[in-house]
Every structure is written in structure tokens, then in C-alpha cells.
Structure 1
Amino acid sequence: MSAASNLQSEDQFLCSICLDVFTDPVSAPCGHNFCKNCIDKHWNIVGRCRCPMCKKVYKTRPELQINTFISEMVAQFRQSTQQKASSSSSSSSEQQAAKPAEVPCDVCTGTKLKALKSCLVCLTSYCETHLEPHLTVSGLKRHQLIHPVENLEDRMCTKHDKPLELFCKTDQTYVCLMCSVLDHKTHEFVPLEEEYEGKKAALGKTEAEIQQMIRKRRLKIQEIKHSVKISKDDADREKAEGVQVFTALKESVDRGLNELMKEIEEKQKTTEKQAEVFIRDLEQEISELMKRSTEVEQLSGSEDHLHLLQNFPSLKAAPPTKDWTEVRVRLPSYRGTVVRTVAQLEKTLGKETKKLFEDELKRVQQYAVDVTLDPDTAHPGLILSYDGKKVNHGDVTKKLPANPERVSKHVIVLGKQSFSSGRFYYEVQVKRKTAWTLGVARESINRKGKIKLRPEDGYWTIWFRKRMEYQGLAGPAVCFSLKSRPEKVGVFVDYEEGLVSFYDVDTAALIYSFTGCSFTERLYPFFCPCNNDGGKNSTPLIICPVNQTA
């Protein structure tokens, strides 16, 4: 047994062809030992019988017999190795069994344990127990071990049956050492490890980019959810306000209707009471007259001369009564009752509407932005203040540098600030001006030729002309009149909603709105103070700070 141990400490059980422990060991006539399958395969490939070790050539293939001594020693070696491996892994539990996503050991019988390494020489994956020979036997130590993988045959060159160890950069494929000196000898090669590092670095960069894209999309999801929340809050607030306003209006209508019915009914009751008094007095007089008529009739039928003469004086005339000739029931006038009630209701509705507009204006004023005029876009005939807040038309057209952004045909100037999302609001003083145009314009408007102020050409504006009154330039224009001339106009834009609204700031009244707009470009505030008109329209347009009241 000691001799066996000594033998087991040496590399005498390894086949020099496969470098693995003998399987069915046979001895050549020269005395060298090989796996029976290995030597047969070797001689079939080489085409002649020559010992791989000593190079002795045999004219005829010798008949090889199993070397029973070596076979027994190999069996002892395998048993000893397995016992050691079994002892070292006796504490292992069933949890080491390979899971569906893990590579199983190719050697295990029964329950397949999880493989720790795969051998590119043996084309076999080993668990901790069956990996032991590759870690202890010097011949097996030379084998190339990698992390466990499936389909090890795919890592071998199908043409030369050698491991794929190189990467051909010319053909962008994986080759073995034999390929590099035969089929790809003029090509550029790098070790798989080098190509691996390069591709790993590229994958790392790709992964970083993907993670960045994921982060951006998660932020976008948060942004969208936040937008939905804002929309829901706005909708809830608007619904609550709508319920409140219409409830108040309904109560006003009900109250007005009740008061109308009460007033009419009271007038009718008064008339009925007056008629009842008249009828009662008339019926009383009729009763007295009927009584006198009976007495007169009885006296006139009497045959007693003295009796008739004695009573005649008291019955010769009708009893005293009221003169009913001019007596009339005073009919009440119901005309105008409904009109007055509706007028009062309209007054109440006007108050509610005004309050509603005031609240709406306060809300849009929360989106106030600081707007200044852009001198690079101003028509040469315009005069801009130093702070960029005022503009009016002068009498002289200045010579200015040719600027592609400058408007050349119309007295227009745009704001410096542009907006491609969200909401914004600003206010412009138009007091004492006889003509003006305000609104927003998209970035790609025609700045050098004649223009038409309409949405299809990129303008969402309203104007005031002394004779033509007010127009919403919607193409065709929409004419309208206002109860009072605005002195300060507020401009509000909701980019996503496609809304542009104009307000009379002092009265908190809505002047005009463009709805259902489709914005795809940046929008710029638009200002046109109109021509000087001989000094009649010299007052400038003034961008005012927004007074956000609570």
C-alpha cells in the first residue's frame, strides 16, 4: 500500500497524449503506456505506427493489450483521489446541486453538483470534488481552466480540434494556434484576453450609456407622473371652483325665482283682498235693498188707507247706499317684474363672473417671466429703451448691421427670451396708444419679406386700431368690442395645452383666446407699437412688472 502511495505521488497515471488519467491503459512494444483510445486515434491521424514518446516506428500496427497492472494502479489512484475529495467535501449540502441556471458537473452521476471550473483541454466541467485532480496532479495542472460554461465544444476549433485562443482582427473571428499559422497566417491577431479586455471596456461604456438612458427615462417617468399630478390637481381645483360657481348661480336663480313668485303672489293677494271688501259691502247693500223692497211690496198691497199713509214717509225712498259708479278694483302691474328679476340676476352673475376672471388672472400671473426686447430683431425704425422694456416707432429709419434675425419690412421687435414648453405670462402697457399689436411668434417666421399675422404663418396675435376696434388675428380675423379700452394687456401661453390668452389686467377680463394651437417650435414674445402716425401714436409699448396679488 506504501508503494501505491509512492506511485500515486508521481505522474505515472497520466496519458502523454491526453494528459489525463489513463482510461483502459495499454503498453506499446517499446514499453510506453497510453490510453487505448488515445493511441488508436493518434495512429489513425498520423497514418503510421510510431511511439509518441520514443518515436520508434512499427511496420505493422502492434496488437495492444490492456496493461492490467497499470489499470489496477489507476483504479487505486482514482479511488484514493475520490476518497480525498469526498472527505474534503463531506460538509457539502444538497444546496450545492446545480440549479437550472447553473452549469452542472459532467462527471457526477445521480445528482449533478454545481461546476466550479470547465477545462478547455478535457472539454469537461467539474464540481469541487471532481476538480481535485486538476489542482493536485502536475500534468493536469497544465490544463486551461475557466469559469464554468456550457457547450465547451463550441470553444474548440472545428477544423484543428484545438482551443480557440486567438482573435483574428482581419476576419473578426476566433481561431486556434494552428489557424494562425495556416489559414490566417497573414492576418492580424491578438490574444483572446486582449480582445476580451477591449470588448469588456466597450461593454462597460455601453453599460454606462444604457444606465444613463435608464436614469433619464426614469426621470422622464417622474416628470410625466408629476405632470399628471399637476393636471389632476388643476382639474380637481377647476371642478371644485365650477361646482362652487354654478351652485352659487343656481342658488341665485332659485332665489330670484322665489322672489319673483312671491312678489306676483303678494300683488295678486292684495287685489283679491280689495275685491273681497268691495263684494262684501255690495252684498250688504243688496241685502238692505232686498229688505226694503219686501216692505214696499207689502205696503203697496195693503187695503188699509190709514196704514199706507202712516208708513209711506219712511218707505217712499231707497235706503242710503254708496255710489259705486267710480269704484274699481286696482289691478296690479306685473309688467317688468320678470325683467327686473332677470336684470338683478344678471348683475349677480356679472359679479360672480368678474370674481371668476379675477381668480383666473391671479392664477396665470403666477407664471410671470421677465421679458426684454431683443435689439437684434428690431425693425430699423423702432426706438428701444436702454433697459429693453420700452419700444416706439420713430420718424427716422436707422442704418443697422445686416442681421438675419432682424425684421425688415414691418415695425416689429421680438423678445430675447424664448419658450419651448410650460407656461409663461407677461404684461404690456398700451395706455394712450391709438394702435398696437401683441402676442407670440414662432422662431421660423419670415423676417425679411411681407408677412400675414395669422397662426398658419406662425403668429398668434391681437391688435387694436382706432377705427377697426379690436381683432383676434386668427386668419380670418375675429372682430370684437370691449366695454372699456384696456390700458394694460396680459399675455399668457400654455405651450402643451396649445393656448394663447389675452387679458385686460385692470378689469381682470378675458379679451381673446387662441385655443387648440399646435406648437412645435420655440415661441418668442411679439411686439408691434405700430407707426408713429405723425406723433399721434408716439407713446411706447411698455413691458411692466407683474403685480401678483394674493
Structure 2
Amino acid sequence: QFLCCICLDVFTDPVTTPCGHNFCKNCINEHWNSNDQYLCPMCKETFYTRPELHINTFISEMVSQFRQGAQQKASSSSSEQQAAKPEVPCDVCTGTKLQALKSCLVCLTSYCETHLEPHLTMSGLKRHHLMDPVENLEDRMCMKHDKPLELFCKTDQTCVCMLCSVLDHKTHEFVPLKEEYEGKKAELGKTEAEIQEMIQKRRLKIQEIKHSVVLSEEAADREKAEGVQVFTALKESVERSLNELIETIEEKQRTTEKQAEDFIKELEQEISELKKRSSEVEKLSHSEDHLHLLQSFPSLKAAPPTKDWTEVSVCLPYEGTVVKAVAQLEETLSEQMKKLFAEAELKRVQQYAVDMTLDPDTANPKLILSADVKQVYCGDVKKNLPDNPERFSVFPGVLGKQSLSSGRFYFEVQVKEKTNWALGVAKESINRKGQITVSPRYGYWTIWLRNGNEYKALDDPSVRLSLKSQPQKVGLFVDYEERLVSFYDVDAAALIYSFTGCSFTEKLYPFFSPWLNDGGENSALLIICPVNPTA
């Protein structure tokens, strides 16, 4: 936890980046000084302005305590090793044997300080090989020639004596034991460094995996929240459609009942009239008055006028009602799902919002930029500006200050009240002089508006866009690794167009064109807006 992933050592002046990772102050500054982008070495998050770093006092104090603890532990370990070092007795002492100070590989004897004196003063003994006292000196002698093991045979990878080198190993390659020792010690140091590096890489991988789990949990929470929102809206839509269906059926039933009541009432009225006529006919038929029957007969001969009920019926108005309702619901849900998914997609890309500004060094001399370099429009007068290689000389364009060579970014631009404009991204190597062609073939991925109502995606070939409404604010999203450039109508939460399979091989810069002023008809500003995530 206290190791810097850049220098692989304990933190010195630890600082914390905005993404929450810690580094030595000098390490992260040197890392950013040597790179074009300000990336976190741990999670690769891009900072479009260089973060101002301050020493993390909490971690600094923790590191200080760790260093003290490590030093105490090392000191204690060293003392334990000294204490565990075996005491070698002097081979010459009689009675109580003193601790040996040195061992002689020639004499195969260990000497205390007193008995070592001759080896330090007598010329013949001075040439003997002395070393720190060790036990079992006979193990350091050649078993065959009874001579000290002073050489290392590189051919057989074994320790040998002088006689071995001229007898048994005379054609082999030899080096002194000390030389081979230094070489092997250096190899062990390299192996230890490699092992420590492997340990550190695995610690970093653990941190990376843990960080991925945290990001996964956050993403899962977002997805669950969006899922609840989407399915709740769909559920409400289904319930609303069901209520409308029931109300429609009940209304039809009421209409049917009313129609039946009217028919019955009319029939009952006719029955009443017919009964009355039947009574009159029956009464006349029993009359004995010859004159009266003959005079009344013409008027009672025929039945009273009535309606022809043969083709009259009460229809059942429900056939196909559910089918029609389901079809309507399917259409409604489809539109609603598209809208909800578009809102969710827009909300997803908005999390990659960056603080975008315009680059004055690239602006056409007719363009006028605001003081905060977030607004631009085209004036009528060409300013006298240096014709540097980055500047658009004829085309009324300007690039963004922030570039992208990996990862994702998103920003929004207000295009309200403009009749002509162009937005997109462009390669760093685009032609900026003279008349230019804006298309992917020449390093541009853009959409534009012409004459107030003609929208096009300047693809190869260009694509005319049919939009339900005129965008007032356009969102632009780029995914470098996915080779994707997408444009959104922010207010409608709708996708306008996507360039896919783009050939990104270098830095990308946002591209803006407010187009010409057109005598004041197109004088409205292009404005880079703060991103407010959709609800």
C-alpha cells in the first residue's frame, strides 16, 4: 500500500491524483512531463488540465511510521542474525576455548585473537588465506588432493583446488572463487529485483482488480436504477393502456345497452298500437250492425304502419378491440422504449464530459472568440493574425484545445438560432490552408446545417438527415478504441448520427464552424455549454 507504482519504492512526498491514486510527487511530475497527456498510470483516466498536486499529509505520516517500523524490524532482524550466528571455538586453546576471530584455509584451523598473532606478524604465515571463522573447515578442502578449494570450474560448475586445475580439469575454464562469487551474487541481486518487481506487479494487479470491482458495483447500481426507471415506465404504460381498453369496452357496452333500450321502447310502442288495432278489429268483427261494419271496414282492414324490423339487430362492437389495443400498445411501447433507451444512452455518454475550450491559435482570422474561449461567431472583418501552421486560413473553422488519443470524451454545443454550422472531430494532420473538403477521407467526422433546415452527415458519401425537430443543443461523443463518433439532440435525448469503424491513427481535436455571418442572418453564437446529465 506504501509503494509507488512508478519507482516501485516506498512513497517520497506522496501526492493524490483526482482519481484517488497515490504516487511520489517527483515520479508523477516526471511521468507527465514526458507524455503528451495527463494520464493516471494506474487507471488510465485522462485529465485535460494538469492537476495541481499537494502532498497528502495523512499518507506521508503513515509512510513515515512505516519507514520507522521497517528500520526497527530490520535492526531487530540483524541483531537476531548476529545472535543466531554460531560461535566457532579456537582450535588451539586448551581448557576453556575462546571464540575464534579468524579461520585459516591453509592451516584448516580457527584462531582466537591471541593465537592469530603469528599469522599477522610472521612473513611465512602472512600469505595464508584468512576468513571469518567457520565450522567444518574440512568441507572447504578438496577431498582428493587435500588442498583448499580456491577455484571455480566454469565447465563443470564446481569448486576445485589448484591441483584439480592442472590434473583433472586442465582443459577447463577457471576463475577465482571470489570472482564467481561476485558474479553469482550479482545474479541473485538481479533475481531478487525481478521477484520484487513481479510481487509489485501483482500487488498493482490486485489494486486494479479491486478498483474494477468498485467500478463494476457503481455500474451495476447505475444499470439497476436505469432498469427500474425503464421498466417502471413501461409498466405504467401497459397499465394505462389496459385502463383505456377497459374504458373503451365499457363505453361500447353502454352504447349497446342504450341502443337496445331504444329498440325495445320503439317495439313496445308498436306492440301497443297493434294491440289497440287488434281490439278494434275484434270488436268490429262481433258487431251486428251491418252498416257500421261496412263503413268501418276500409279503415281497419290494414294493420297500422310499423317499422320493418327484419334487418334490425343489436351488434356486438367488441370484435378486434383487444387486438387493436395490443397493436396500439406495441407501437406506443416501441416508441417509448426507443426514447428511454436513447435517454439512457445519452446519460451514459454524458459521464465522459470534459471541460472543452477553443484554441485561438487555430481560429480563422474572421472568427471572434469570447474571453473564456467557449463561444465563437464569424465577423465581417478579417483580423491581422499570424498565419501559423495550425490556423485555418480560408475555411471558417476552429479546433478545440483538448485532444484525444485514447479513451472517450463528450461535450455539448448550443446551436440555437443559427442557420448554418458544422461540428465534429478532426485529425491533427488535417489540411487547414485554402479550400478544404470536410469528410472522413480527409480526416473529418462532422455533421452540418445549411440554409436553416438541411441537415447532413458529411460521411463518404454524405447522408441527408431527417430530424423530427431542429436541435437546439448538440452533444458530441467520441470513443477512440471503438472508433466511434456520435452526435445527439440533447433536449430530445435522441441520436442524430453515428460514424462507425472510423480510422483513428493519431490525435483527434474537436472541430467547430459557426459558418459565415450571412449579413447578420447567421450571427448567433456557437456556445460550448456545461453538461447537465439528463434526468
1:141 aligns with 2:123: no
**Cα 1:296/1:495, change in 2 over 3 Å:** farther
Cα displacement (A) at 1:371: 0.6
1:396 aligns with 2:392: no
**Cα 1:426/1:172, change in 2 over 3 Å:** farther
Counterpart contact for 2:260–2:314, Cα < 8 Å:
no
Distance 1:157 1:260 in 2: 111
Cα displacement (A) at 1:276: 1.9
Alignment of 1:51-90 (within 5 A): none
Distance 2:161 2:177 in 1: 10
Distance 1:248 1:272 in 2: 36
Query: SS in structure 2 opposite 1:431?
Result: coil
Cα displacement (A) at 1:527: 1.4
Query: SS in structure 1 opposite 2:139?
Result: coil
Report what 2:250 is aligned to: 262
Query: SS in structure 2 opposite 1:236?
Result: helix
Counterpart contact for 1:271–1:331, Cα < 8 Å:
yes
TM-superposition CA deviations, 1:220-242 (whole Å, max 9, x none): 33344445444444443443333
**Cα 1:321/1:311, change in 2 over 3 Å:** closer
Root-mean-square deviation (CA, aligned residues, Å) is 5.2
1:532 aligns with 2:520: no
Cα displacement (A) at 1:535: 4.3
Counterpart contact for 1:157–1:175, Cα < 8 Å:
no
**Cα 1:286/1:420, change in 2 over 3 Å:** farther
**Cα 1:396/1:447, change in 2 over 3 Å:** closer
Alignment of 1:368-387 (within 5 A): 368-387=353-372
Q: Which of residues 466, 475, 489 is equivalent to 1:504?
A: 489
Q: TM-score, structure 1 length as denominator?
A: 0.56
Counterpart contact for 2:420–2:448, Cα < 8 Å:
yes
**Structure 1 unaligned spans of 5+:** 1-7, 10-16, 20-133, 146-155
Q: TM-score, structure 2 length as denominator?
A: 0.57
AA matched with 1:202: K
Query: SS in structure 2 opposite 1:143?
Result: helix
**Cα 1:255/1:449, change in 2 over 3 Å:** farther
Distance 2:217 2:505 in 1: 24
Report what 2:66 is aligned to: none
1:490 aligns with 2:475: yes
Report what 1:212 is aligned to: 200
**Cα 1:438/1:272, change in 2 over 3 Å:** same
Counterpart contact for 2:420–2:515, Cα < 8 Å:
yes
AA matched with 2:397: I
Distance 1:374 1:501 in 2: 22
1:480 aligns with 2:465: yes
Distance 2:334 2:513 in 1: 36
Distance 1:444 1:252 in 2: 56
Percent of pairs with identical residues: 40
Report what 2:271 is aligned to: 283
Distance 2:199 2:498 in 1: 44
Distance 1:435 1:371 in 2: 22
Number of aligned residue pairs:
397
1:199 aligns with 2:199: no
Distance 2:385 2:442 in 1: 28
AA matched with 1:273: E
Distance 2:499 2:171 in 1: 74
Counterpart contact for 2:412–2:528, Cα < 8 Å:
yes
Distance 2:527 2:140 in 1: 83
Cα displacement (A) at 1:370: 0.9
**Cα 1:365/1:482, change in 2 over 3 Å:** same
TM-superposition CA deviations, 1:441-475 (whole Å, max 9, x none): 35555556876544565544321111661123343
**Cα 1:235/1:180, change in 2 over 3 Å:** farther
**Cα 1:203/1:356, change in 2 over 3 Å:** closer
1:428 aligns with 2:413: yes
AA matched with 2:368: I
Report what 2:55 is aligned to: none
Counterpart contact for 1:443–1:521, Cα < 8 Å:
yes
**Cα 1:216/1:359, change in 2 over 3 Å:** closer
**Structure 2 unaligned spans of 5+:** 1-93, 96-105, 109-133
Distance 2:358 2:462 in 1: 26
Distance 1:519 1:508 in 2: 27
Cα displacement (A) at 1:514: 4.5
Q: Which of residues 284, 287, 290 is equivalent to 1:308?
A: 290
Distance 2:428 2:204 in 1: 27
Report what 2:112 is aligned to: none
Distance 1:162 1:185 in 2: 18
TM-superposition CA deviations, 1:214-262 (whole Å, max 9, x none): 2333333334444544444444344333322322232233333333333
Q: Which of residues 223, 227, 236 is equivalent to 1:239?
A: 227
Query: SS in structure 2 opposite 1:369?
Result: coil
Distance 1:466 1:195 in 2: 79
TM-superposition CA deviations, 1:54-104 (whole Å, max 9, x none): xxxxxxxxxxxxxxxxxxxxxxxxxxxxxxxxxxxxxxxxxxxxxxxxxxx
Counterpart contact for 1:489–1:504, Cα < 8 Å:
yes
Counterpart contact for 2:150–2:177, Cα < 8 Å:
no
Counterpart contact for 1:157–1:163, Cα < 8 Å:
no
Counterpart contact for 2:152–2:174, Cα < 8 Å:
no
Report what 1:51 is aligned to: none
Report what 1:99 is aligned to: none
Report what 1:222 is aligned to: 210
